[in-house]
Amino acid sequence: MRSRTIIIRILICLSAILLLVYSNDLQAAIITSPDGRIAVTVQIQKKSKAHPTGDRLYYSVKLDGKPILLASPFQLDFKGMPSIAKGLSIVDESTKKIKETWTPVWGTQSQYINHCNELFLKLKESDAPGRSITFTVRVFDDGVAFQYGIPEQSGISDFKITQEFSEFHFAGNPTAWIGNYPSFREHQETEYNKKMLQDAKPGEIIGCPLLLETDNVWVALTEANLVDWAGIYYTRHSSVPNAVVSLLSPRLDEQDVAVISKAPRVSPWRVIMIGDKPGDLIENNMIVNLADPSEIEDPSWITPGISAWDIWWCGNYAPDFEGDFKMDNASMKYFIDFAAEMGWEYQLVDWTWYGAPFDPDQPLGAAGNTAVSTLEQAKDVNIPELVTYAEERGVKILIWLDWFHADQEMEQAFPLYEQWGVAGVKVDFMARYDQYVVNFYHRLVKLAAKHHLTVDFHGAYKPTGFRRTYPNLLTREGVLGNEYNKWSDRITPRHNVTLPFTRMLCGPMDYTPGGFRNKTLETFRVVGGGDPGPFVMTTRSQQLAMMVVYESPLQVCCDSPYNYRMSPAGTDFLKLVPTTWDDTKVLDGYPGEYILIARKSGKSWFVGGMTNESIRTVKVPLSFLGKGTFNATIWSDPEETADYPDRIWKSNRIVTADDVLTLDMAAGGGFVIHIDK
């Protein structure tokens, strides 16, 4: 037994060493994770029946010696010159270990550990034009990332990439949770439907992340450190049923081109998260570890928190408001007063504060209204006055912008907003993922940081780690959230408990939780007539649980002050729940079924649980607490929730780390627990 242990330790110590294997038909480089469990082989395979194209770059991934990704090829297509794919050979290689600890401005942990082994390869074409390309692989204990690079060379200077074909050939027959989009011009707001990967149709656009389960191993595909590049999608391989291939979002000005750039350049990271359980992927930090470090020297002005939200969600339902509820200062002060009462950090002044933002002759959001400007205010709105009123009550003001106007006016508008005292901007309706819009995001966030403005993107693509580089980017939408309850029945409990394992893997999502007009699955209806809606298809406890389960350092609570004030059991929790965390542990869960998450803030722990349409009893182990005795306050579904989903049962218990709580969740229900020493 002792000799076996010594051998295992030796193998782990050698895990960061590059193994280059040369034979008559193969060049291969192998790199493993720090713990030795994940091994990546990058190879140039000679022409054969299995590899008919010959001399192409392939990579494969194993976990504990078991194949996860079979040999998967890579190809890069250009406009005006041949593809880079065939006739390659490895001409240089190096490896290095990376181990660093860094402290975020905000996040799901107080510190992140970036620990991986890196393999760097330089490859060259054997035939003319003899171009070079680099291929870098980083292997973490919980996944793999790779990026390609185009070095400065005589054969390539300025270049245009038409398409990238990064292929992912899965072993076994994976089950997938797929978010489909009808086109590349989308808000990235959709359901993630469970199906066999082989049942997906080639040509269909699949968004990030793509979640898969194969032979009890969980994998998610996405990207990180997207800078001056086109965003990535996937589609099922046309001839290999259990494989997907990447798609780059095309430009609008040159639609057969995705990326216009100049050597030397490197691509974003292609990320392959790997876990033994689906919850392992939620705890995965590869995306932020692969992003560039923070560029903000003094981030002390960046304030996470909770925001009240105005009439875009609440309609005219405010029985405790005296007056005509609309976009004016009196209405906004109503929300500011409530934010102050709750101890919340923000009030969001949403659209129409500078007039009608969209062209009245076009569909909603299709085109900006050239008759209005973000440098002016509607006749009944005075933002500086609202800022002063809010400051006197300890509240900050956020304002909404259409991206059409922000794109044109941000250089003039952001210094003005800083002068007004505005704390941040919500930018909406981009609905694109091409290189121009990616650069728009970066340009806006950097300029916002210069003028001490936080940013919330709506109508947005999913996160890629830029929040580490510029932590004033607090959150973004790119999620099918509570807002859809106004006009659809798509926001189901099953959808809600799928999101933590899919969209949330990429980072913060502004789902806008906190709907307090609760209905059962049977009684839910889309708002109409004189209904004081919109309604939500969950219990009130599930809406509270979202504040813990869903990651977002800016949580925008969607309902009206009146509805919150009428529910003391809800408002007491909403007064104390934070939005950033020092530690995160996924206790249990399965996509589309249920989720249990524990998050730590200071000396307190918060636990959130959510279920789908099934009534569910769960065990909540408290072993994460450590030594001592604690007080647990629990908000959960009482028995009558089956008929009255707005009911909450609040209880208290003395607990220790040895305890396991048994909690019942109603259909579409949940619970939250606040645990203090």
What confidence tens digit (pLDDT) does each residue in 572-597 have? Answer: 999 999 999 999 999 999 999 999 99
Is residue 568 reached through a cis peptide bond, with omega within 30 degrees of 0 on the bond before it?
no
Task: Please say whether the beta carbons of 259 and 433 come within 8 A.
Answer: no
- Shortest CA distance to 601 belongs to which of 562, 651, 548? 548
- pLDDT digit string (tens) for 269-308? 999 999 999 999 999 999 999 999 999 999 999 999 999 9
What pLDDT does 312 receive? 83
Q: CB 453: neighbour CB atoms within 10 A?
A: 24
Of residues 462 and 157, which shows the higher confidence score?
A: 462
In a domain, residue 215? The reply is yes
- One domain for residues 615 and 495: yes
Question: Is the pLDDT score of 356 beyond 90?
Answer: yes
The CATH number of the domain where 215 resides is what? 2.70.98.10
CA distance linking residue 528 with residue 319, whole number of Å: 18
- One domain for residues 229 and 324: no
- pLDDT digit string (tens) for 606-647? 999 999 999 999 999 999 999 999 999 999 999 999 999 999
What pLDDT does 16 receive? 43
Percentage of residues in the chain having pLDDT higher than 90 = 87
Which range is least confidently modeled, 2-6, 28-32, 587-591? 2-6
Work out the angle at residue 291's Cα, subtended by the Cα atoms of residues 289 and 294, and round it to the nearest 5 degrees. 100
Per the prediction, the chain carries an average pLDDT of 93
Work out the angle at residue 107's Cα, subtended by the Cα atoms of residues 452 and 344, and round it to the nearest 5 degrees. 60
- One domain for residues 462 and 491: no
Sign of CA dihedral 489, 495, 496, 502: negative
The CATH number of the domain where 419 resides is what? 3.20.20.70
Percentage of residues in the chain having pLDDT higher than 70 = 94
What pLDDT does 48 receive? 62
In a domain, residue 138? The reply is yes
Last residue of one domain, picked from the residues 289, 317, 344? 289
Task: Please say whether the beta carbons of 29 and 119 come within 8 A.
Answer: yes
Quick one: how far is CA 16 from the chain centroid?
30
Last residue of one domain, picked from the residues 460, 478, 496? 478
What pLDDT does 673 receive? 98
- Shortest CA distance to 436 belongs to which of 292, 267, 259, 291? 259
Kindly give, in sequence order, each residue whose CB lies less than 8 Å from that of residue 256, ignoring residues fewer than 6 positions away: 79, 162, 250
What pLDDT does 52 receive? 55
324: pLDDT confidence band, cut at 50, 70 and 90?
confident
CA distance linking residue 208 with residue 461, whole number of Å: 9
The token pair that represents 93 in the structure block = 């290689």
- One domain for residues 218 and 367: no
The token pair that represents 540 in the structure block = 């009130």
Question: Is the pLDDT score of 185 beyond 70?
Answer: yes
CA distance linking residue 472 with residue 441, whole number of Å: 12
- One domain for residues 33 and 53: yes
- One domain for residues 97 and 181: yes
In a domain, residue 629? The reply is yes
Question: Is the pLDDT score of 127 beyond 50?
Answer: yes
- One domain for residues 413 and 543: no
What pLDDT does 131 receive? 94
| Helices and strands: H and E segment counts in the chain | 13, 36
Strand partners, 177: 194, 211
DSSP string, 407-450: HHHHHHHHHHHHHHT--EEEEE-----SHHHHHHHHHHHHHHHH
Strand partners, 74: 166
In a domain, residue 568? The reply is no
- The mean pLDDT value for 83-104 works out to 96
Q: What SS3 state is found at 259?
A: strand
- The mean pLDDT value for 240-259 works out to 97
What pLDDT does 10 receive? 41
CA distance linking residue 441 with residue 470, whole number of Å: 11
- One domain for residues 343 and 456: yes
Count the helix, strand and coil residues of the chain and give each as a percent rounded to the nearest 5. Answer: 20, 35, 45
Question: In a 10 Å sphere around its CB, with 0-12 CB exposed, 13-18 middle and 19+ buried, how is residue 386 labelled?
Answer: buried
Q: CB 184: neighbour CB atoms within 10 A?
A: 20
Task: Please say whether the beta carbons of 208 and 498 come within 8 A.
Answer: no
- The mean pLDDT value for 348-375 works out to 93
List the domain range (segments joined by +) for residue 590: 482-550+582-677
- The mean pLDDT value for 9-25 works out to 43
467 half-sphere exposure, CB direction, 13 A CA radius: 31
Q: How far apart are the first and last CA of the chain?
A: 43
CA distance linking residue 135 with residue 84, whole number of Å: 12
Of residues 594 and 155, which shows the higher confidence score?
A: 594
Question: In a 10 Å sphere around its CB, with 0-12 CB exposed, 13-18 middle and 19+ buried, how is residue 504 labelled?
Answer: buried
CA distance linking residue 676 with residue 102, whole number of Å: 27
343 torsion bin: left (phi>0), alpha (psi -120 to 50), beta (else): left
Which range is least confidently modeled, 107-121, 195-209, 530-544, 614-628? 530-544
CA distance linking residue 523 with residue 514, whole number of Å: 19
Task: Please say whether the beta carbons of 247 and 232 come within 8 A.
Answer: yes
Last residue of one domain, picked from the residues 478, 504, 537? 478
- One domain for residues 542 and 633: yes
What pLDDT does 46 receive? 72
Which helix (DSSP H) or strand (DSSP E) does residue 73 occupy? Answer: strand 66-78
In a domain, residue 154? The reply is yes
Query: CA gyration radius for the chain?
Result: 26
- One domain for residues 310 and 189: no
- pLDDT digit string (tens) for 548-560? 999 999 999 999 9
The token pair that represents 153 in the structure block = 């060379």
In a domain, residue 556? The reply is no
CA distance linking residue 50 with residue 613, whole number of Å: 46
Task: Please say whether the beta carbons of 226 and 194 come within 8 A.
Answer: no
Kindly give, in sequence order, each residue whose CB lies less than 8 Å from that of residue 529, ignoring residues fewer than 6 positions away: none
Number of domains the chain is built from: 3
- One domain for residues 201 and 316: no
- One domain for residues 343 and 394: yes
365: pLDDT confidence band, cut at 50, 70 and 90?
confident
Q: What is the DSSP letter of 405?
A: H
- pLDDT digit string (tens) for 47-91? 666 555 557 899 999 999 999 999 999 999 999 999 999 999 999
Kindly give, in sequence order, each residue whose CB lies less than 8 Å from that of residue 52, ignoring residues fewer than 6 positions away: none
Question: Is the pLDDT score of 246 beyond 90?
Answer: yes
Task: Please say whether the beta carbons of 317 and 541 come within 8 A.
Answer: no
Q: CB 240: neighbour CB atoms within 10 A?
A: 17
In a domain, residue 560? The reply is no
Angle at which helix 383-391 crosses helix 403-420, to 10 degrees, equals 50
What pLDDT does 407 receive? 98
In a domain, residue 566? The reply is no
